[in-house]
Every structure is written in structure tokens, then in C-alpha cells.
Amino acid sequence: MDPKAVAAEKAVEYIENGMVVGLGTGSTSYHAIRKIGERVSQGLRIRAVASSAKSEQLARECRIPLAAFTAIDHIDITIDGADEVDRQLNLIKGGGGALLREKILAYNSKQTIIIVDDSKLVDTLGKFPLPIEVTPFAVELTLAQLERLKGNPYIRMAQSERFVTDNGNLIIDCHFDAIRAPEELNTKLHLIPGVIETGLFLHTPFTRVIAGYADGATQILGA
């Protein structure tokens, strides 16, 4: 079995009628969106908001009712993926390039469910490159500052062109190796002008992590 699909199916069980649901971005989140679409076709009544144009398009294809952000005042539950999860439930996210929007949804949700396959559970963050969303203006100067932090940064590319987020920004991926003090690193990164948001998700309110396994089992961590 696909462990991502296993985790997604379990996560969708937490959705109830009348909820406003935040939709994440990335390969694991897409499993969840399709499963939510199946439940909607069976009578589930919800409204959803999406963290990216790709997720919004998939939601429309799955006939999931979408709400404008001006029409909601809360998000009941957000289901999203992660690139790494440590024992304290700190996350690295942004492999799909939507980290800023994903963080906005997560921090405005009553609960956030992170779905991963078991390979994403780690003792220490850092094996997966840390995505950082930056403004395109003077990006070379931002790169230089990240070099000084020993981030080994490089601008993410999409084929032969720079990857551009839905917000019109760029993504810089950094290899910090082991991130043993994620809060300290996150603070240093936010002090760099040009950095808009980081892929470090720390102390996200009411986070639950569901890890899926190839044998169909799931492991639930957190709230």
C-alpha cells in the first residue's frame, strides 16, 4: 500500500459536516484532497480553502466546495504534508513551494493534521533541504547572507527557469545538515531582509502527525 495514501485516508476521518477545511500542497496532500472529494460525493458538507493554485484546481476537479478567504473567519482543520518531522513535532515544509500560504493556513486553524509516510520521521531536522521563500529583489544579496549562515543555498529551479511561487517570490533551498536548534536558526533567518518566510514550522497550534506505513498501519503523534 502507498503509505502516503494510508495516512491521508486516516486524516480525512477527522473532518466533520460544517467544517471549514484547509487544503495543503504536495504529493501527500493531493491524496487527502482526492479522499475529501470522495467524501463530498457521499454527502459530506464542508467548505475548503486552498494553499496553492494547484490544490485549488484539484479541489475543483474533485467538486469540493471552495470558499473565498473574505467569506470565512476561521479554519476548523487543515490537512497538509511535511518533508520532515522530528520528535518534538517540528517540521520542515515547502518541498511543494507553498510554504508561506501553508503556514498562514496552519497558524489560523483550530487543528492541523500533518500526514507523512514513515520515512519522514527523523530524530533531527536537516537532511531534507530547508526551503526559504524570498523576494526576487536583490536575491543575490539574500543568497550571500544565507551563505554566511553556512546554509549552502541555491535558488530552486523549474526546468531551466527559476521556480516562482504563487505569491511571485522565489524559493532558496538550504542544506544546513543537522538542525539541532531550529528556533535559533528560524530567528536568524527572519532577521535577514529579503526573507519572507521559512519552511521551519515550529509550535504550530494543535498539531497532530499521522504517519502511514506500507503495511497499512498508521502512527499518530501529538494532540
Catalytic entry in 102, 161, 184, 197 = 102
Structural contact between residues 28 and 116, judged by C-beta atoms closer than 8 angstroms: yes
183 is catalytic: no
Query: Catalytic residues, which ones?
Result: 102
